[in-house]
Structure 1
Amino acid sequence: MLRHNRTSLAVCAVGIPVAVVLAGCGGGLSADSVAKIDGKDITKAQYEKSFKYATYKANTAQVLAGKNPKMIVPDSPTFKNCIAQLKAQTPKPPKGQPAPSDAQFKANCKNGYDQIKQMAIFDPLLTEVLRKEAEDNDIKISQAELDKGWANYLAQPTAIGGKQNLAKFTKLTGLGVDVLKQDQRNQLILQKLQAKITKEKGKVTDKDVQAYYNKNKAQFTQPETRGLHVVLTKTEAKAKAAKAELDKGAKFATVAKKYSVDQVTRNAGGKLSGVAKGQQERGLETAAFGAKKDELVGPVKTESGWYIVRVDNITPAKVTPFDKVKDLLKQQVTAQKQQTAFTDWQKQIIKDWQGKTECRKGYVAQFCKGYKEPKQPTTAAGAAGGGQQAPATPAG
């Protein structure tokens, strides 16, 4: 089943051989280019290679698990093979439910193709953006870091799933390990950029933490609770009779057993502990929180019936002091500020590079001038298989 991903700064794109016809020369692009970023051409050959890798990733690394791995290839424009492969992989629907139609399978294949195509142009653009951003921010990746990162990368189930799968990967896609190593290098660069951005712009002061605490004080407040004894009856007359016996000194447990229709409190001798506002019926809550300690009130009418209520104890609301939560809050506020800083940086980077990147019509991705967010996949496409997401603004 094809997997559809959101393109982002944190994700590198994917693919497999495809015949692509690029008609016309838009703007300042040469005939052999699909895009130009900061004066550097992204050639058709680069795009073809990226498309192969994008198709591999859309199929997920699990495709290498079998002895004879095969990928679902969205063969535009008919998608004949893709439809056949999806049909073969789709389980039979439960009895009484229709199987997906060819139109639904085709919609899935078309959606997958469109996203793979977009990722295929996004990936080489991303590589150039990260290379230049690393250069401008004096970020370097040592050979030792590359070696360690490569070992970790090979072990990731979502990447390649082990060194033993490298030969299968090459046979399946026709690609060498260079595309995997570039993917891994991009991740390392992005990690260092994120660390630098969050360190510079994610600093938090005690004043920031105090402001967060003051704004969200309800989160650190334990509400007032009341311990009650109650009797619930179906009629007002029964409630009055119960209260009359209690007024004469009868034990609450005896009266609850005799009159209450609520099994839980009846079995507990009428006891209802730890009641906070918002937990009980409005009438019962109003009576309970309007009464004084040891006061017997009722009958109180509610949707459930008629209550007699006695307040046994009152535990006042308690606010956890700032000093008790300061350290934990600082970690939380810092994490939020760092995430916001990195997200803002990503948005600005995309905006900046859109002014330096020209893409051929039909081959427009996030960094391209004139890029627009794609529409979400249709219900029909989703019905044909797999959770699908359209590319969108990068997320850290």
Structure 2
Amino acid sequence: MLKSALTVLAVAGAGLLGDGAPTDPVATVNGKVIERQAFDHWMTIAATSTGNAGATVPDRADDYRRCIATKRKALSPAQRRRISDPTLRARCRRDYAQLRNQVMQLLISFEWIDGEATLRGLIVTDAEVTRSFEKQKRQSFPKDSDFQTFLKTSGQTVADIKGRVRLDLLSNKIREQVTATRVPVTDQVVEQYYDQHRSRFVEPEERSLRIVVTKRRAAAERARAELERGVSWESVARRYSTDFASKDNGGKLAPLAEGAADPVFDQAIFRARRGRLVGPVRLGSEYYVFTVTKVKRERQRPLAEVKKTIRQLIQSEAEQAALDAFVQDFSTRWRALTECAAGYRTSDCRNGPAPAPVVWDDTRR
């Protein structure tokens, strides 16, 4: 988990840098400043994690000249002659916008999570962070040398990573608190749910088959003729079938539920009479000869059999509804407290573009 999480952009947050003088803020969240230094730090990491050539951050200050040079160096000789600087500049401008939006989203969302946890009285101790960090480190990097290599190549520090771990833990605690309320699920509620969703508790009809699959119609017709003469399925399937899943098993297939197979084959199977040879049926470039050996009829599962499942479903739906309501409120409240500098405005900023509908998404961390 740690290795995969840290090799993409979903890492760390504001205030996780080492020493250095403050620079112009790129945003403020409820009065807390996100410094330009933090933004620059994670832009470099973002460029590295997304495979940006040479880990070069597209820089507007020099009109993307370094970015253009890096991109041109990566081109083949023919491409260098064909692709102009304005085209490469447009690509650099696009790359910068994508990286900027990702980094701003992360830096802002971490401030939101930290602020929300404070409001809710939730804390994560240093001991919790260390335990989680060490556990994930052992899972992702069995050798310490691999971890040290990762730090060097990613541009991150242990403090950066522990900051990310802390915010993961805080986010989990917020989720747990939001979804902690248990709604009473009485027998009457369960029965009502069952009556309103009976189709969800239907087991579809299943049919067991023996089949022979061939590439040529003539081979399928010979296989059928031998079966009609009483030659065993074991012998015929082994001789003619190209289906490796069944040819050495007398042509037997695992039971198929209605609607699970290709529509043409599904229709042939569920129209067939049990015990009668069918085919050849053409399906794409193959021909099927089959017989239905067993039919398990569609069954409505009784209430007593699914009561436990229904209770879990109701509780899960209630938790999801609580989480959805929280997310909308959370995003609205914290966006109203977020002000971004010109050139750094995203949909998470109150002075930025209108936001799209949101869900609680752990990948933002």
The TM-score, its normalising length taken from structure 1, stands at 0.56
Deviation at 1:75, TM superposition (A): 1.8
Contact 1:297–1:309 (8 Å) recurs in 2:
yes
Letter in 2 for 1:199: A
Counterparts of 2:75 and 2:300, CA distance in 1:
55
Q: How many residues align?
A: 329
Contact 1:209–1:333 (8 Å) recurs in 2:
no
Q: Which residue pairs with 1:57 in the alignment?
A: 45
Q: Which residue pairs with 2:113 in the alignment?
A: 130
The TM-score, its normalising length taken from structure 2, stands at 0.59
Q: Which residue pairs with 1:113 in the alignment?
A: 96
Give the one of 65, 73, 76 matched to 1:80: 65
> Percent same amino acid among aligned pairs?
19
Counterparts of 2:72 and 2:184, CA distance in 1:
54
Q: Which residue pairs with 1:191 in the alignment?
A: 172
Contact 2:190–2:310 (8 Å) recurs in 1:
no
Counterparts of 2:60 and 2:91, CA distance in 1:
12
Note closer, same or farther for the CA distance 1:194–1:307 as it changes in structure 2 (3 Å cut): closer
Contact 1:166–1:177 (8 Å) recurs in 2:
no
Q: Which residue pairs with 1:26 in the alignment?
A: none
Give the one of 349, 357, 363 matched to 2:330: 349
Counterparts of 1:289 and 1:228, CA distance in 2:
15
Larger fraction in helix: 2
User: Structure 1, unaligned stretches of length 5 or more?
Assistant: 17-21, 23-31, 64-69, 376-390
Larger radius of gyration: 1
Q: Which residue pairs with 2:20 in the alignment?
A: none
Deviation at 1:372, TM superposition (A): 2.9
Contact 2:335–2:348 (8 Å) recurs in 1:
yes
Q: Which residue pairs with 1:378 in the alignment?
A: none
RMSD: 6.0
Matches within 5 A, 1:84-233: 84-86=69-71, 101=83, 106-151=89-134, 164=148, 168=152, 180-200=161-181, 205=185, 207=189, 211=193, 215=197, 217=199, 221-225=203-207
Counterparts of 1:284 and 1:149, CA distance in 2:
50
Deviation at 1:193, TM superposition (A): 0.9
Q: Which residue pairs with 2:29 in the alignment?
A: 37
Deviation at 1:139, TM superposition (A): 0.9
Counterparts of 2:307 and 2:55, CA distance in 1:
52
Letter in 2 for 1:190: S
Contact 1:134–1:189 (8 Å) recurs in 2:
yes
Counterparts of 1:309 and 1:162, CA distance in 2:
55
Letter in 2 for 1:118: N
Counterparts of 2:152 and 2:353, CA distance in 1:
37
Deviation at 1:58, TM superposition (A): 0.5
Contact 1:227–1:314 (8 Å) recurs in 2:
no
Taking CA–CA contacts closer than 8 Å with sequence separation of 6 or more, which of the two structures ends up with the larger relative contact order?
1
User: Structure 2, unaligned stretches of length 5 or more?
Assistant: 1-6, 18-22
Counterparts of 2:204 and 2:184, CA distance in 1:
27
Any idea what SS the aligned residue of 1:358 has? strand
